[in-house]
Structure 1
Amino acid sequence: MDECILFADDVVLVDESRAGVNRKLEQWRCTLESKGFRLSRTKTEYMMCDFSTSRHEGGDVSLDAQVVAHKDTFRYLGSMLQKDGDIDEDVKHRISADWLKWGQASGVLCDRRTAIRPAMLYGAECWPTKRRHVQQLSVVEMRMLRWFCGHTKRDRVRDEAIRERALVRSGVLKHVDKVKKGRGRPKLTWEKSVKRDLKDYDSSEELALDRSLETSYQRA
């Protein structure tokens, strides 16, 4: 089928119109039932990402004459998608998952990089992060790093000293974005957020893409 995303048993159908979504959903239902499968009516949800300022559609999405539940956020493969394209809910979800993994692992693990960091950064490679998102993640990371180093806020140890002791460094990758620009103020993209971070840390793309330098940091 055109314009659909398949991953294990999770399926996403995408179209530019509500009628197109209804048509694809009905086609998918008929295809499954012809092979002896059944499409769940209760687990199927839809979300409309209305990025157009002039085009608005009404009506419902239906599955075999049953109205499909409409959601403002949509969970797919561990990530929270929002109808406005932002990542606020995904950041909150990742932080919650991080604390859950921290609680499970803090009693037996000594190296926080083993399980905690992947839990919080899962699916974050393409986040168009804003400063408030970075701040939220940094607060969580510093609380864990202080615990890891045996310090609390009352000890008044600077964040830089904690990071240096824990050997925490950051890295960035390059992303090519060819999305067409629309009217109004452009949304913050992943590439722009990377360039902003490079500027904040007085770094460059060439330095960030230097694999030999990254390897030397990892071995240090």
Structure 2
Amino acid sequence: AVPYRRAIEPRQPPHAGYNPALSGLSLNYNRVHFEWTRAGGDYTITMDARSGRYRPDVTVARMRIADRRSPVYTYHDAGGRDDWTVARGALGGGGARWLPVRKPELYAGEVFATFARSQGIVLKAPQVVEGAAPQGATLVTHESDPLADILRGMLRYSTNITAEMVGMAASARRRGRALDLAASAREMTGWAQATLGMKTTDLRDHSGLNDLSRLSALDMARALAAA
């Protein structure tokens, strides 16, 4: 229901964690955790898919320290992985940040294989399969949190990827097929104009990250009144 898109808004800085890829698979909001610690005259760096309990290392996103002061980060699409560099002069004593993932399917697949291996199940390296998913028996079904809870968290933490994925899923539900981001934004614009009286609204995405979107205070007041 969510067609792949390399970034929500391609004009944003490449290292902005709030601007990851869009995909039907999303792990850690499609972000990878980069951490660096000073070790003598050099640094130790890690790239992992950490959660509250686990910190599985990943290879689909790689980092290299470059002897420069700027730019702080560079990104290169290496085909099967995300290649990053960071300026040594920007690292200081140590720190961490979340970086966007551009290959969310491979990222999620690698982490899944890591957890499977910890249980004695060895899987092949993940691959992106185009077209229909392979057929097979359903082993596990996992339901998400209620939509109201998802949206509450989205508003509290201003999570762009949640806004995009929920918006695109809603458009797919209305149209009966998946739409790309631009078409989904037009679908939401039409719905908002017809249902909520937001006559001058022009949305280019679902998160507001695209600066070409237009939403007036009057239209917002109309939406709140209609709700």
Instruction: Give the alignment's TM-score, normalised by structure 1.
Output: 0.23
Which has more helix, going by share of residues? 1
Which has more strand, going by share of residues? 2
Tell me which of the two structures has the higher relative contact order, counting C-alpha pairs closer than 8 angstroms and 6 or more residues apart. 2
Instruction: Give the alignment's TM-score, normalised by structure 2.
Output: 0.22
Question: Which of structures 1 and 2 has the bigger CA Rg?
Answer: 1
